């Protein structure tokens, strides 16, 4: 088999940060190649170089046997490369149709968009790529994260590349859309398209890929066929050391049914989906929330954080009704939210890591109205170390961070507040395997110190591994409350699909 891609001695630095250092690697034509590595290993930098967005400082690239200069996205496209990016660059104020066809919208008289031809083309794509569930007239800003990611992937596939690059495509996809992507990859693979898939999930390497390349600290440390080495060996190459890939042990449950819950929702309705939902969260426990995309879980998290107004029902903190009018009230009541979309809600993109981490608690560091930089710096240092963030994140703005490191800053920010209820919405999305397990340990430590955690994840295995019990939500209501001892992937999966509970109905709050 000939090579689709050959990189020789490619380097790229951003100021003092070396993102890629003398990287050489080959990818065989027709392979589905996983690109693995820790947060900040240089994966997206490599992707951006191949997409023409970033110019390497040194090195050469051979594509399908020809030496290429990838100066700009158009040049990369012309060479046969299309990319679905990690941080989706779609234009929010334009329609799905416009985004799908960009930059080649059909024109009339050379300047006006030919709407009929555009609609026609999108209809064909919808059938061809199985994306009929997305309204082509909707604005990107009206879509949820999973749908946006799907449009971004469809846009790249629609241009029929010889080399398709997917940078963490599944991080934001719902389960159904992950299955959709698996079907697309199978089709493209059968047609001989070469694919590079950046991922942090070994299950995807096994299910979707034929080979893998591993980056560490900006250099290529090895390429292997899938199955050639064990997962433990893969992790060792990724991290440069052996890692513990188990979940933190659960403490023995403290049987005290009379204890007042930290947080309680009584028949609350909010947002578009959630209707009459009741649940409790006790100190010391991690409660998982399992649900398919768009079942009301986002409404639940937002309502508990007062980011969404209650239409009915009430919220109790420490057994007393809390009137939470705005997120500031929730924070004052000790409730924190790590949101779904860190770009919109989690981070101020033009502020430094330090400023971001201290935004919710800035008053703690102000003495007589003046910020005390030394104290702030020390507290942030500790918080960043606890999520193993490199100290340079103190000075960089989030736009300069890798995707996973952005997520870690959001977590650090809330761990520093004195909150007791932590609402975490898919916190390990896009986070590398080593850090994932550090985050699990942090969350367990928070619970052991008496805090309560409500934890939504799109990965059932993660919910089962970490949580003390799991609530399943279907169409805006809780349909299951499953203890860790009873939880199985199949059982939780069935409840998420709306199957009636196989578990004791009496325990459902
Ligand atoms: N525009 C930029 N300015 C400064 N530094 C940058 C910039 N883009 C990336 N970096 C740095 O380069 C390094 C590699 O980043 P990159 O985005 O390639 O990582 P990654 O492997 O994709 O990580 P992740 O898994 O978190 O997405 C990181 O240290 C990052 O902070
Ligand atoms: Mg990346």
Strand order in the sheet with 335-338: 335-338, 421-425, 452-456, 286-290, 469-474, 477-483
Ligand 1 site, residue 389, Cβ cutoff 6 A: no
pLDDT of amino acid 399:
67
Look at domain 3-239 and name its CATH class.
alpha beta
- Which residue's CA is the closest to the ligand 1 atom numbered 10? 400
Q: How many CB atoms lie within 10 A of CB 332?
A: 11
Condensed to tens digits (0 to 9), the pLDDT of residues 243-302 reads 666 788 888 766 566 789 999 999 999 998 899 999 999 999 999 999 987 889 999 999
Residue to mutate (ligand 1; options 17, 39, 216, 391; most atoms within 8 A of CB): 17
Look at domain 262-334+419-509 and name its CATH class.
alpha beta
pLDDT of amino acid 360:
56
pLDDT of amino acid 445:
84
d(CA 486, CA 464): 10
Q: How far is the CA of 210 from the centre of ligand 2 (A)?
A: 21
From the centroid of its chain, how far is CA 59? 31
d(CA 80, CA 108): 26
For residues 12 and 53, is the Cβ–Cβ distance under 8 A? no
Q: Is the pTM of this model over 0.85?
A: no
Condensed to tens digits (0 to 9), the pLDDT of residues 118-152 reads 888 899 999 999 999 999 999 988 888 889 999 99
Question: Where in the sequence of the chain do the CATH 3.40.50.300 domains occur?
Answer: 3-239, 262-334+419-509
Index of the ligand 1 atom closest to the CA of residue 37: 21
d(CA 312, CA 317): 17
pLDDT of amino acid 26:
96
Of the CA atoms within 13 Å of residue 445, those in its CB half-sphere come to 9
Ligand 1 site, residue 402, Cβ cutoff 6 A: yes
pLDDT of amino acid 355:
66
Index of the ligand 1 atom closest to the CA of residue 405: 26
pLDDT of amino acid 227:
92
Low-confidence residues of the chain, pLDDT below 50? 344-345, 362-370, 502-509
């Amino acid at each position: 088999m000939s090579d689709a891609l050959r990189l020789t001695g490619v380097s790229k630095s951003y100021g003092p940060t070396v993102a890629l250092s003398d990287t050489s690697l080959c990818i065989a034509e027709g392979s589905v190649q996983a690109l693995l590595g820790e947060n900040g290993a240089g994966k997206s930098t490599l992707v951006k170089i191949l997409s023409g967005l970033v110019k390497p400082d040194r090195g050469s690239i051979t594509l399908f046997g020809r030496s290429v200069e990838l100066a700009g996205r158009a040049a990369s496209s012309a060479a046969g490369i299309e990319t679905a990016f990690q941080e989706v660059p779609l234009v929010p104020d334009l329609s799905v149709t416009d985004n799908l066809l960009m930059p080649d919208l059909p024109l009339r008289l050379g300047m006006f968009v030919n709407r009929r031809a555009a609609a026609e083309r999108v209809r064909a794509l919808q059938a061809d790529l199985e994306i009929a569930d997305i309204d082509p007239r909707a604005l990107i800003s009206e879509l949820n994260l999973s749908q946006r990611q799907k449009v971004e992937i469809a846009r790249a596939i629609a241009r029929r590349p010889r080399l398709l690059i997917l940078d963490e495509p599944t991080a934001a996809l719902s389960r159904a859309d992950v299955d959709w992507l698996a079907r697309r990859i199978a089709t493209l693979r059968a047609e001989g398209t070469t694919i590079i898939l950046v991922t942090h999930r070994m299950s995807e390497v096994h299910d979707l890929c034929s080979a893998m390349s591993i980056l560490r600290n900006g250099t290529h440390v090895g390429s292997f066929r899938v199955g050639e080495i064990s997962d433990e060996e893969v992790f060792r190459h990724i991290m440069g050391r052996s890692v513990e890939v188990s979940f933190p042990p659960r403490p023995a449950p403290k049987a005290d049914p009379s204890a007042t819950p930290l947080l309680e929702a009584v028949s609350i309705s909010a947002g578009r989906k959630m209707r009459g939902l009741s649940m409790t969260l006790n100190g010391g426990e991690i409660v998982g929330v399992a649900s398919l995309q768009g079942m009301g879980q986002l409404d639940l998290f937002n309502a508990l954080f007062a980011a969404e107004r209650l239409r009915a029902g009430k919220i109790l903190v420490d057994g007393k009704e809390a009137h939470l009018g705005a997120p500031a009230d929730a924070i004052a009541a000790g409730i924190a939210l790590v949101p779904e979309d860190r770009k919109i809600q989690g981070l101020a993109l033009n502020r430094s890591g330090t400023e971001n981490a201290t935004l919710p608690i800035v008053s703690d560091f102000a003495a007589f109205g003046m910020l005390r930089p030394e104290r702030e710096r020390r507290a942030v240092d500790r918080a960043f170390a606890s999520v193993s963030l490199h100290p340079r994140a103190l000075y960089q703005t989030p736009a300069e961070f890798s995707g996973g490191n952005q997520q870690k800053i959001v977590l650090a920010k809330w761990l520093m507040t004195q909150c007791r209820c932590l609402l975490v919405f898919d916190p390990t999305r896009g986070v590398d395997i080593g850090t994932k397990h550090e985050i699990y340990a942090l969350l367990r430590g928070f619970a052991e110190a008496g805090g309560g955690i409500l934890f939504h994840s799109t990965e059932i295995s993660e919910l089962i591994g970490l949580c003390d019990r799991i609530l399943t939500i279907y169409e805006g209501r809780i349909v299951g409350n499953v203890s860790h001892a009873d939880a199985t992937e199949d059982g939780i999966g069935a409840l998420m699909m709306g199957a009636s509970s196989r578990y004791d109905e009496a325990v459902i709050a």
